[in-house]
Amino acid sequence: MNDLAGKHIVLGLTGGIACYKAAELCRALIKEGASVQVVMTEAAAQFITPVTMQALSNRPVYGSQWDAREPNNMAHINLSREADAILIAPCSADFMSKLLHGGADDLLSLMCLARPIDRVPLLIAPAMNREMWDHPATQRNRAQLQEDGCTVLGVGTGDQACGETGDGRMLEPQELLQDVVAFFQPKVLAGHHMLVTAGPTYEAIDPVRGITNLSSGKMGFAIARAAQEAGAEVTLVAGPVALPTPRGVHRLDVKSASNMLTTCVEYAQAASIFVAAAAVADWRPALSADQKIKKDGSGQTPVLGFIENPDILATLANGPRALSGGLFCVGFAAESHDLLAHATAKRIRKNVPLLVGNIGPDTFGQDDNALLLVDASGATEIPRNSKLALARHLVADIARRIAK
């Protein structure tokens, strides 16, 4: 799946040590299906050569407004008209100021000023020393650029080339790639707050043992990413999984079903959509030992009693916010057989408008999945695809339902 297939990106480089990251970013954009035209300022060429960027982009690099390769000698017009977006990475403090004031004394600034604003968006990835980034002038420039319609992708935090540590680093190439991909996704959930659960829960038997399941959390994390791409504010409540937090998502880590319920009840108060994608344990040990349960050589096994865990989905779906229409609830059913029958029964039992079913053993730990969407009208099969593609399909489906 190439999320940027058919997109033409003009990648602008301004002066800064972060230019070295632009090489990897260029490759990442191309691998995701985009074509890339590099435009560099004179200062950028002090940090990375045009030859490097030409080799990576497979296109001649432009650096001068007087470039005679353009028949009409108007590279600033021609290059901007061909672009689906202009991405400046790195964008220096000086160049941010130039953009704000409409400066146009080199090819890159000319191109930004001459672009058709209504159809060629401008994205910038700032990169500078932490003091420069925090300076009131830079923050005023950032705010005004956003007010003028520029998308400022934010900065990273960490060690800087000058030896200081703080905000101002350019985001990493993969982070920027995700931001660019997200930028082009339809904002069908703008103004909504989605609460998503993901992964397994863990129910302790003693300090070193517990009951869990094989859920990797990948589907729930993909839904969180897809919702954020679609413009929603996203809170992700994650069981014990080793997955990176999707860009722009607020993550809360929990362990047991009881922990997850408490967190979900709290954060559901501000949410308009709840997607219960976690594989929550149905039961937990009635008693959790304070110390490791040891073998005593008798051959006798310990006797474990179990009690039923609280039902998170049913609790929220039958709460006052959902019943009044303020919280749209979506459930998941991971089954081993008879998916349609079990998913249909679960949807009715939980009192949710939409239930998403899948065969657990076929999807746990995998990067792809197949889904069955069950509502009051029947069921729709979503063929096997990557979990992110399925998540985007599901998010679009939810958006259509809540827009009715």
Q: Is the dihedral of CA 83, 87, 88, 90 positive or negative?
A: negative
Residues in the chain: 404
Distance of CA 39 to the CA centre of its chain: 28
Residue 103, helix vs strand vs coil: coil
CA distance 300 to 279: 32
CA distance 104 to 234: 39
Residue 320 near residue 344, CB atoms below 8 Å:
no
What is the full DSSP assignment across 130-165?
HHHHHSHHHHHHHHHHHHTT-EE---EEEE-TTS-E
Tokens of 326: 């303020």
Tokens of 278: 């976690």
**Has 162 been annotated as catalytic?**
yes
Tokens of 177: 């790639």
Catalytic hit among 150, 162, 264, 329: 162
What is the full DSSP assignment across 366-395?
-SEEEEEEEETTEEEEEEEEEHHHHHHHHH
CA distance 323 to 321: 6
Cβ-count burial 256-265 (b if 16+ within 10 Å, e if not): bbebbbebbe
Torsion of CA 176, 179, 185, 186, to 10 degrees: -150
> Where in the sequence numbering do the catalytic residues fall?
162
